[in-house]
Amino acid sequence: MKQVENNPDFVDISKYPHVYIDLRYAGINNFMGVDLYGPIYGSSGKVFLHKDAAVKLRKAVKFLEKQKPGWSFLIFDALRPRSVQWLMWDKVKDTPQRKYVANPAIGSPHNYGMALDIGLTDGKHGEVDMGTGFDSFTPIAEPRLEKKYLKMGKLTKQQEANRLVLRRVMTKAGFLQLSHEWWHYNALPEPEIRKKYKIVE
Ligand SMILES: [Zn+2]
């Protein structure tokens, strides 16, 4: 991670106000069941984003403070080196889950530090209920199917409302919601990211 730590294009977001870090790949509470970040980040507690994405996160924090005083963001993932992307890909490439993991040959927006996996905490009861957990890899997690699952009673009105709080402040700050993961936001359209930025290996 020296490539990132000494590079002014990348910033550590772990000390931002109203931003709590819950990096799931830095423990075993993830779909891999393996600590993927330990060997890379060590115990520094740092979490990196490209500065162009970090500016938008700071804006989102301001919007959230206004809309839901006392609430904070929960960061599940931010910059993810491509070496980790390969480990994930090897696990899912021959399974139905492969559509949830970007092929490392092309790269994920996370590999550029231009994507965030993000949720909310309300300051009282902890993590805000979005209907599924992070990385659930099920159709209920897909924003494009929300209306369908609402009708079927598999998603409650409150869960949908909670997702909309997140979506409103993130998109107002300039992020784009991915259609099959409620937690994933890109800082720019993917083609633009690939054209303008570099992958962190
Ligand atoms: Zn993501």
Q: Which residues span the domain enclosing 34?
A: 2-196
The pLDDT of residue 111: 97
Tens of pLDDT along the chain (201 residues) come to: 777 988 999 999 999 999 999 999 999 999 889 999 888 877 788 999 999 999 999 999 999 999 999 999 999 999 999 999 999 999 999 998 888 899 999 999 999 999 999 999 998 889 999 999 998 888 999 999 999 999 999 999 999 999 999 999 999 999 999 888 999 999 999 999 999 999 999
Please tell me the predicted confidence (pLDDT) of residue 158. Answer: 98
In the reported structure, the alpha carbon of residue 64 is separated from the centroid of ligand 1 by a whole-number distance in angstroms of 20
In a domain, 201, yes or no: no
- 37 located within any domain: yes
pLDDT of residue 160: 97
Rounded to the nearest angstrom, the distance between the alpha carbon of 88 and the centre of ligand 1 is: 12
Q: How many Å lie between the centroid of ligand 1 and the Cα of residue 108?
A: 8
- Residue 192 in any domain: the answer is yes
Is residue 167, in this structure, part of any structural domain at all? yes
Report pLDDT for 88: 93
The span from the CA of 112 to the CA of 50, in Å, is 7
- CA angle, corner 116, sides to 113 and 117, nearest 5? 140
Considering the domain boundaries, does residue 59 fall inside one? yes
- The CATH number assigned to the domain holding 141 equals 3.30.1380.10
Instruction: Output the CA angle 132-137-143, nearest 5 degrees.
Output: 60
Domain-located, residue 164: yes
Which pLDDT belongs to residue 161?
98
Q: Which two tokens stand for residue 120?
A: 């909310």
Q: 50 C-alpha vs ligand 1 centroid, how far in Å? A: 15
**Number of structural domains, the chain?**
1
73: closest CA among 9, 157, 130, 136? 130
pTM: 0.94
C-alpha 162 to ligand 1 mean position (Å): 18
Secondary structure letter of residue 73 according to DSSP:
E
**Domain contains 188:** yes
